[in-house]
Amino acid sequence: MTVNWAQILFNSVITGSIYLLGAVGLSVTYGLSGFPNFAHAEFITLGAFIGYFVAEQLGLGLPAALIVAFLVTGIVGFLCYRGVFQPLAKRGASIIHLMVASIALGFILRYSIGAAWSWHPLYFTTTWSAFDVGPLRVTGLWLWLIFVAVGLAFIMHLILTRTKIGKAIRATSSNPELALASGINIDRVIWITWFVGGGLAAIAGIFRGADTQIWPMTGWDIILPMFAVAILGGIGNFYGAIAAAFVIGLAENVGVVALIAVGLSTEYRMAIPFLILIITLIVKPQWLAMLFRRA
Amino acid sequence: MLLYGLDFLVFVGIFGIVALSLNLEFGFAGLANFGKVAFFLVGAYTYAVLSQIGVPFYLCLITAAVIAAAFGFVISLPALRLRADYLAISVLAFGEILRLLIKAEHGIAGGVWGITVSPAISLAGVSYRVDLLVNIGLVYFCLLICFIVAQLLANSPYGRVMRAIREDEVAAEALGKDRAKYKAQIFMIGSAMAGLAGGLYAQYLQFIDPYMFMPMITFTVWMMVILGGPANNWGALLGAGLVEFFDRGANLAKDYLVLPVDPSNLQYILFGALIILVLFYRPQGLLKESPIKTKALELVRYGRGVVNNKPGK
Amino acid sequence: MEEALLRIREVSKHFGGVYAVNEVNLDIREGGIWGLVGPNGSGKTTLFNTILGLYKPDHGAIYFNGKCISNLAPHDIYGEGVVNAFQLPRLFNRMNVLDNMLVAARGHQGDKCLHSLFWRKSWQKQEEGLIEEALDILRLVDLEKWAFSLAGELSGGQRKLLEVGRGLMAKPRLLLLDEPAAGINPVLGKSMFQKLKDFSCNGITFFIVEHRLEILFEFANWVYVMDRGRMVAQGEPHDVVDAPAFYEAYLGEG
């Protein structure tokens, strides 16, 4: 069996780009609010459906779909935090209660989506012609995905380093007490990260949906790899999440080759991020977080 | 309708056992086991595989509990040293890997096509109704045992240590309680109960496949415990009854009501809303945490006058 | 020289390059009240947490009763007889005051899983005795009438008292108290020290961090002074008051 390694690397970048978009928001809200938001899966799903609605049902095309999905899901993300998690945390809910609440909220969103659209998988009808670049098989969708992921990561980087609000976000995630003492409005910082995190998840959802299928479990199907990315990269660590997204994307695609080589089912592909997740958790999460922070 | 009611009772019994086990782990000891379904699955498949090679049902059930406890122990070694959120995520991931494994390996138990299970007690030529009654007897016998175990553990110095670990594990550790050991024990007991319930589930349905063990099961059980009242074994049973009742009600509504929203969607939307409402307005659940009751404590409290009713002493 | 109960040798603990405890040596002999003073941030609480096994020392060793305890887990250090009362009380809030006390009890047979399930007789008698003891201690710290109230409902001062009471309940050989009199009114604080003094006659040695120097110096047999992670002075209270290092620690080098 000959393996097209260039293609595998390229596929890793594609997988990594989706994980990057999906996991950055998860990681940053996890770090700032102090609990893993399982409803993030539904932000991804909601984005996919809104994207489908705008691009297919309204026929406005992909760019419009990306923008509308980003805004709408971002607002939903903000409302989830403002309406449910923040008041719960103020009432002294424990981290376990917040996790349970996020799963409950996920149910509400997931089944509302199921009621509003349907449980039958939907597909984008726009066909993306495949063409060859050297040894690579490429589609327009994938190029869009890489362009959007890299572009958004770069914009986020500029916001984090150049703007006042970005500096406030970084200050808050590294030391909330100090940030509060220096007059940063922490609530506002957290609201913004929930908005942006939801928006980015929506974009991940559109690309994931366009690449595979759209149904109410679209997000849940990839939520555990997202957690793997967030934890591997260090919770709340933006640059760590970017690196980890590509590490896990690579591990998955190389893993598939390995699975075929040893004669195991490729269904185990989904087990690879789980295994990385579990190993990461066992082998000192702090150690990895520090590694990325120094870099 | 009677059959439907009996079937409902069997389900309440089986999930009552799982709710009791989660209540031990989460309600009393504060462990966020988001992978409950994994141990349920282990029990169900152990039962299925053993019953196919002709092992008697009681041995199948006991083995299901033991194997699930063994899995619980293996998982507990690394996982229980983790923070609550990491524990939740890693056990959830473990459940998914396990389901994936069963799904992909057709050699183990039929893979994605599932496996048929012989019933525990098959009496020749009896009606479905008698069969249900036999099942109710078996399930409620197991439930009774699990309930007694849970009550004995809760109302003992051991239960006191469990609660102390839930409240502040560092303080408990500094007061001489080996938290890793306690957590591992509780995880094993909880997993054994879940495994037992899994075995009962498999033999009752007489067929299992990997799609019956989605993470949804875990969250249904969480709902039971949160709703009924964590750290109260009666609450866990109440929660199991209520959630199952709600579930059945939604299924019936599908047939009899015309709603703008498909009831099977509406059911879970309401489930979610209910949990959030409970967390907001009654985080202690419907039934409050039951205080520890031991013989000696009762003596002090009631035998020699209630201490906290003497003002100004 | 008689063998010290607690011997600390060259113990250092640092957090990211900052030495919280720096090459500290210290001896505590059996009996009496031993004080540890120093300004805020001088490393007293870190030293306590290191003794308890909550932190592993980076260098040095800690011996208790001749045995090295610096690599033991906290619950094993409790087993050796070292117990602590935290500066900010870490009570079990959703348990009642009496249960908080009983958790600390040493060698309770019912703490074992199988005993609680199958052999309840083995500990029920013991529990009655422990409850008597717990109520006696609660009476000492003025909490007896709250025995069945939730610990989370106590006032700040009462929480502090319960934390100390829980330490006594554990029947330690050495009890570390981190600012036991903070947040308690001065009269009660003084009477608490008086009671501790009585306990110290019954075989409990106390090692106490306290900011209320006047109370501590009245009762302590020996006082250690820490400043910026180092042990800078020691002696009997009236000698320490005159030591230049003591003034330097509190007033700064200027």
**CATH classification of the domain holding B43:** 1.10.3470
Place of tokens 């473990």: B94
Tokens of B113: 């096509």
Give the one of A111, A275, A281 whose C-beta lies nearest to B268's C-beta.
Answer: A111
Q: Quick check: is C163 in a domain? A: no
Q: Is the pLDDT of residue B43 over 70?
A: yes
Distance CA A137, CA C63 (A): 68
Q: What single string gives the DSSP state of each residue in A44-73?
A: HHHHHHHHHIIIIIS---HHHHHHHHHHHH
Better-predicted residue by pLDDT, B153 or C116? B153
Query: Which residues have a Cβ under 8 Å from the Cβ of A80 and sit 6 or more positions away?
Result: A37, A39, A105, A194, A198
Alpha-carbon span B11 to B241, nearest angstrom: 9
Token pair belonging to B12 = 């309440």
- Binned at pLDDT 50, 70 and 90, residue B306 comes out as very low
The letter for the amino acid at B167 is: E
Count the Cβ atoms, other than its own, within 10 Å of residue A154: 10
> Are B171 and C92 in contact (CB < 8 Å)?
yes
Any idea what the Cα angle at residue B39 is, between residues B38 and B40, rounded to 5°? 90
For residue A142, the distance in angstroms to the closest alpha carbon of chain B comes to 28
CA distance A80 to A103: 12
Minimum distance, in Å, between the CA of residue B78 and any CA atom of chain C:
17
Is residue A285 within 8 angstroms of chain B, CB to CB?
yes
Report whether pLDDT(B59) > 70. Answer: yes
pLDDT of the residue at A291: 56
Ranking A66-75, A278-287, B163-172, C221-230 by mean pLDDT, the lowest is A278-287
Please give the distance of CA C53 from its chain centroid, rounded to a whole number.
13
Chain B positions in Cβ-Cβ contact with residue C146 (cut-off 8 Å) = 308
Do C13 and C69 lie in a common domain?
yes
CATH number for C195 = 3.40.50.300
In chain C, residues with a C-beta closer than 8 Å to the C-beta of B294 are 110, 124, 127
- The token pair that represents C161 in the structure block: 């008292």
Domain total of chain B: 1
C186 and C82 in a common domain: yes
Q: Is B174 within the bounds of a domain?
A: yes
d(CA A110, CA A41): 9
Answer whether residue B233 is part of any domain: yes
pLDDT for B311: 39
Question: What was the pLDDT predicted at B14?
Answer: 95
- Show the tokens assigned to A220: 């849940």
Q: Is C13 in the same domain as C73? A: yes
Q: Are there at least 3 beta-carbon pairs closer than 8 Å between A and C?
A: no
| B313, part of any domain | no
Q: How far apart are CA C130 and CA C153, in angstroms?
A: 23
Tokens of A138: 């490429």
Residues C24, C73 within the same domain: yes
3-state SS, residue B118: coil
For the cut 90, the answer to whether the pLDDT of residue C244 exceeds it is: no
Compute the distance between CA of residue A283 and CA of residue A287 in angstroms, rounded to an integer.
8
Q: How confident is the model at residue B313 (pLDDT cuts 50, 70, 90)?
A: very low
Note the pLDDT of residue B188: 94
Least confident of A41-55, B115-129, B200-214: B115-129
**Residue-level pLDDT at B303:** 61
- pLDDT for C182 equals 80
Q: Is the Cβ–Cβ distance between B196 and B14 less than 8 Å? A: no
Query: Is the pLDDT confidence value at C254 over 50?
Result: no
Query: Pseudo-torsion of CA A190, A196, A199, A205, nearest 10°?
Result: -90
**Spatial separation of the C-alpha atoms in residues B230 and C94, rounded to whole Å:** 12
Report residue B204 as tokens.
């009752």
Q: What is the pLDDT of residue B309?
A: 43
**B110 against C96, higher pLDDT:** C96
C224 in a domain, yes or no? yes
Considering the domain boundaries, does residue C132 fall inside one? yes
Same domain for C182 and C78? yes
Q: Are C46 and C67 members of one domain?
A: yes
Give me the residue label for tokens 């011997």. C7
Q: 3-state SS string over B230-258?
A: CCCHHHHHHHHHHHHHHHHHHHHHHHHCC
Q: Quote the mean pLDDT of chain A.
A: 86
Q: Nearest-CA distance from C46 to chain B in Å?
A: 15
Residue B266 domain-assigned (yes or no) = yes
Between C181 and C100, name the one with better pLDDT.
C100
Residue of B nearest to A221 (CA): B96
> Which of A157-171, A238-252, B142-156 has the least mean pLDDT?
A157-171
- Would you say residue C162 lies in a domain? no
What pLDDT does residue B280 have? 92
Q: Which two tokens stand for residue B59?
A: 């041995």
**Percentage helix, strand, coil, to 5, in chain B?**
75, 0, 20
Instruction: Report pTM.
Output: 0.89
Supply the pLDDT for residue A250.
92
Final residue belonging to a domain, choices C153, C186, C201: C153
B294 or C223: which carries more pLDDT confidence?
A: C223
Confidence of residue B310 (pLDDT cuts 50, 70, 90): very low
More confident residue, C110 or C251: C110
- Nearest CB among B30, B97, B265 relative to A271 is that of B97
Q: Does any domain span residue C217?
A: yes
Once rounded to an integer, what is the mean pLDDT over residues A258-285?
Answer: 80
Edge-to-edge strand ranges of the sheet holding C222-227: C82-85, C174-178, C205-209, C33-37, C222-227, C230-235
Domain assignment of residue B138, given as a range:
2-306
Q: pLDDT tens, A73-110?
A: 999 999 999 999 999 999 888 899 999 999 999 999 99
Please give the DSSP secondary-structure letter assigned to residue B131.
H
What is the per-residue pLDDT for C76?
A: 92
Mean pLDDT within C73-77: 91
Same domain for C186 and C243, yes or no, is yes
- CB interface of A with B, residues 140-199, below 8 Å: none
On whether residue C136 sits in a domain, the answer given is: yes
In terms of average pLDDT, the best of A42-51, B93-102, B280-289, C37-46 is A42-51
Q: What is the pLDDT of residues A172-210, one digit of tens each?
A: 877 777 777 777 888 888 899 999 999 999 999 999 988
Tell whether B301 lies on the interface with C, counting CB pairs under 8 A: yes
Residue at B216 is within a domain: yes
Interface check C78 vs B, CB under 8 A: yes
Range of the domain at C144: 92-153
* Residue C1 covered by a domain: no
Q: Which residues of B touch A83 (CB under 8 A)?
A: none
**C-alpha span between B63 and B91 (Å, rounded):** 22
Alpha-carbon span A107 to C155, nearest angstrom = 41
If one counts the domains in chain C, the total is: 2
The answer to whether residues C192 and C212 belong to one domain is: yes
Q: By C-alpha distance, which of B108, B88, B85 is closest to B98?
A: B108
Q: Which two tokens stand for residue A266?
A: 């490729």
State yes or no: pLDDT of A128 exceeds 90.
Answer: no
Q: Quote the ipTM score.
A: 0.87
Longest Cα–Cα distance in chain B: 73
Inform me whether the C-beta atom of residue C104 falls under 8 Å from chain B C-beta atoms. Answer: yes
Contact A107 B271 (CB under 8 A): yes
Quote the pLDDT of residue A294: 43
Highest mean pLDDT among A222-231, A267-276, C231-240: A222-231
